[in-house]
Structure 1
Amino acid sequence: MTVKHATTFRPGSGVGQEPVHVSAPGPGQVGVSIRATGVCHSDLHIVNGDWPAEQPLVLGHEAAGVVDEIGPGVTTVQPGDHVVLSWFAPCMRCSNCAAGRGWLCTGTTALDNTLPDGTTPFTDDQGKDLWPYLGLGTFAPQVVVPETAAVKVDDDLPFAVGALLGCSVTTGVGAVLNTARVPAGASAVVIGCGGVGLSVVMGLKLAGAHPIVAVDFSPEKRAKAAELGATITIDPRDTDLTAYVNDHLGGVDFAFEAIGNEKVIETLPGLLAPGGSAVLVGMTRIGARSTIDPYDLADQGKSILGCNYGSSVARVDIPRLAKLHLAGHLPLEQLIDKVRPLAEAGLALDELAAGTGLRSVLTPTG
């Protein structure tokens, strides 16, 4: 199959649009028609060089769609199924997968930007390989993915909402419910109110946390955080966050960093009450370093928790979050402020880099 428009990233050339050829699904693979795909900071990390890429890539990793075709041996989905695509497709064979910690899978090839057999379903007009970013490459109308990446969901779930479940929402809500296991009544700060940070706010509301302090430069994002459950919003240019949290709240039980900024990470322990936990949700550039006072951590019993993909098992957590949305407990549609055609992926990435708006979703028809 040939698709007319796919958004690619070529080292040295940057982001572009080009026709792409997509192979049929092989053993253990699933062909999916993309109906919606989110624009995430992980794509931006590639584009701006935070995460160096040596391969030409089809970008995109946060998506929902409909199964078109299945390869030999596929048993968990069939043509016509609605699916959310999970970028961290687990191997289901390593010790972490066997222990129910699929987010720590050591056998996944997602980070190598390949299918599990080391191949790619994409080629360009010259017959040369293009590689699926994080094993998916969803900035194309058709994709071929590992079976473990295609998670069946209710047909009633809107595709745009399902796309966000592929990465940002599962990461943010999972950071609260799975990584930190926030109990009802715990106090929390969320730094950064983009798609992931707002998902953390929703997760905190779902968990019954109070108060929930949301921090962002953008008045639009602070207002949205308040709509979604934040009880206090702060512009850090106007208010010293550390002083405010300690003077008014005596520190907080949990501090979530949803930006991926090493300097902001350094401030987290100073926000915590004794016994509190800092949760690193945002992804930094590769090689970033932060300086932390180890005496404070030991003396006050504070901890720092790393969070990859919300410590989530996609086949368990994605359908669960979808049901919570359909039941009215997670108003995920409020995260989406723009729906654009796939051909405008570059523009959406530029807006993301500028920090404007909330979450953009791309669709084949705009």
Structure 2
Amino acid sequence: MRAALQSEIGQDKLEVVEDMEAVGFGPGKVKIRIRATGLCHSDLSAMSGVLPQPAPFIPGHEGSGEIVDVGDGVTTHRIGDRVLVCWLPPCGHCPACKRGQGHLCLEAFGNVATPNFRRTGTGTDVFGFAGTGTFAEEMVVPAACAVPIPDDLPYDIAALIGCGVTTGLGAAINTAQVETGSCVAVIGCGGVGISVIQGAKVRGAAQIIAVDPVASRREAALRFGATEAVAPEAFADAKNRITAGEGFDYVFEVVGKSATTQTAYEMTRRGGSVVVVGAGALDDNYSINMFSLFFDEKKILPSMYGGGDVLRSYERTIALWRAGRVDLAGLITHRVHLAEINDALDQMRTGVALRTCIEL
């Protein structure tokens, strides 16, 4: 089958190969024919080495498709089921899951260190990003990674729900629990940031300020519910003008850097919440002085995969989409085929595209 391969960490381009096969099928596993996958900035971070990932590997962790084979012992799925890919499924029995924090379950991370692809021409083992690897026509994953979806949910939208949309909406709804009438700022308005904006709107925020250096992203933020959009250099002025200098009730950092996290902290009012959504590098440390931490009582809330119950978040997102409360189709700025993936990567690096849907 075809797949997009990265042979070494740090390569800018992916190689579309035709001698890849999905391996590891057996008891408890399912094989999925991928129909659509989203291009997320986390894929770029894995390619560049910001996020740890063994190589060679196939990027992609937002995907959807249909089940083409079911392993022994799998009773929850049938051939032909339409599913989305959950790269971090809750096991249901570990301490984190029992506390209702399935998004912190570590059991699925065992998949990351196990190759789930192989090149037939060379016999080389190949990893899938985050234990998945949706930039391939087929993949084998544990049954828990394949979450059934309703027939009326298009594959491209389902793919985005698998990570970016769930992460953004959940940060506002689950992690921050944005209060009605509050004042919100969102730093970084790619696909996840736009989903944060939509989540804050669903929660009833009165003012939502989008902050991004790319003009097209600021324009998109306004279409998705932001009440104002500014460039980073105008953020401080917006704080003074909108909050009389006090700071925002919630500031979401959706970039994954210590510098923007510091900005988020400075722009948050005393007693407000700094919500860290961006996935950063292991060697990028954030520090704060102890007096400010005590005296200002600002809450620093990391948001992993949107917080809360991931499977329940999927259901809620689908319900909001059906009701017209969130726009998911609008997140997809363009669709490409696997052969055009490198052009899509270049667009993502420029900061222009919100999300690219790759149709396989």
Partner of 2:242: 248
Aligned to 1:77: 77
Per the TM alignment, residue 285 of structure 1 is displaced from its structure 2 partner at its CA by 1.9
Count of aligned residue pairs for this structure pair:
355
Alignment CA distance shift 1:155-1:362 (3 Å) = same
Could you tell me which residue of structure 1 aligns to residue 190 of structure 2?
Answer: 194
What is the rounded CA distance, in whole Å, between the counterparts of 1:179 and 1:144 in structure 2? 31
State how far apart, in whole Å, the 2-side matches of 1:227 and 1:243 are.
Answer: 22
> In the alignment, which of 338, 355, 359 is matched to residue 342 of structure 1?
338
Query: Which runs of no fewer than 5 residues in structure 1 stay unpaired?
Result: none
Q: Render the CA deviation track for 1:170-216: whole Å, top value 9, x for unaligned.
A: 00000011111112112110001100000000001111111111111
Q: Partners in 2 of 1:13 and 1:305 — Cα distance?
A: 31
Q: Which residue of 2 aligns with 1:31?
A: 31
What are the ranges of 5 or more consecutive residues in structure 2 without an aligned counterpart?
Answer: none
- Contact 1:84–1:153 (8 Å) recurs in 2: yes
- State the superposition RMSD in angstroms: 1.7
Alpha-carbon distance in structure 2 between the residues aligned to 1:93 and 1:123:
35
Alignment partner of 2:123 out of 111, 123, 127: 127
Q: 2:326 aligns to what SS in structure 1?
A: coil
Mean CA deviation greater in 342-351 or 138-147? 342-351
Q: Tell me if structure 2 keeps the 8 A contact 1:152–1:319.
A: no
* Contact map agreement 1:82 1:153 (CA 8 A) in 2: yes
2:107 alignment partner, SS class: coil
Q: Determine the structure 2 residue equivalent to 1:90.
A: 90
Residues in 2 aligned to 1:52 and 1:181: alpha-carbon distance in whole angstroms: 30
Structure 2 match to 1:300 = 296
**CA positional deviation for 1:246:** 3.5
1:43 counterpart residue number: 43
Residue 113 of structure 1 is matched in structure 2 by: 112
- Cα distance, 1:298 vs. partner? 1.5
Q: Taking every aligned residue pair, what percent have the same amino acid on both sides? A: 37
- Structure 1, residues 128-175: CA drift from partner, whole Å, max 9, x if none? 211111111100111111111111111101111111001100000000
Checking the alignment, whether the CA contact within 8 Å between 1:6 and 1:17 is kept in structure 2 is yes
Which residue of structure 1 lines up, in the alignment, with residue 175 of structure 2? 179
Q: Is the 8 A contact 1:58 1:139 kept in 2?
A: yes
Query: Which of 228, 242, 247 is matched with 1:232 structurally?
Result: 228
SS of the aligned residue for 1:130 comes to: strand
Shift of 1:124: 4.0
TM-score w.r.t. the length of structure 2 is 0.94
Partner residue, 2:60: 60
Letter in 2 for 1:266: Q
Q: Please give the secondary structure, in 2, of the residue aligned with 1:310.
A: coil
3-state SS of paired residue (2:32): strand
Correspondence 1:220 to 2:219: no
> Residue 109 of structure 1 aligns to a residue in which SS?
helix
Which of 310, 317, 321 is the equivalent residue of 2:317?
321
Sort the Cα spacing of 1:132 and 1:124 in 2 relative to 1 into closer, same or farther, 3 A. farther
Structure 1 residue ranges (4+ consecutive) displaced by more than 6 angstroms after TM superposition:
none
My pick for the range that moved more, 274-283 or 51-60, is: 51-60
SS of equivalent to 2:75: coil
Counterpart contact for 1:151–1:314, Cα < 8 Å: no
Contact 1:58–1:130 under 8 Å retained in 2: yes
- Contact 1:214–1:230 (CA under 8 A) maintained in structure 2: yes
**Structure 1 position 119, deviation (Å):** 5.1
> Is the 8 Å Cα contact of residues 139 and 345 (structure 1) preserved in structure 2?
no
C-alpha contact 1:252 1:272 (8 A) present in aligned 2: yes
Contact 1:11 1:53 in 2 (8 A): no
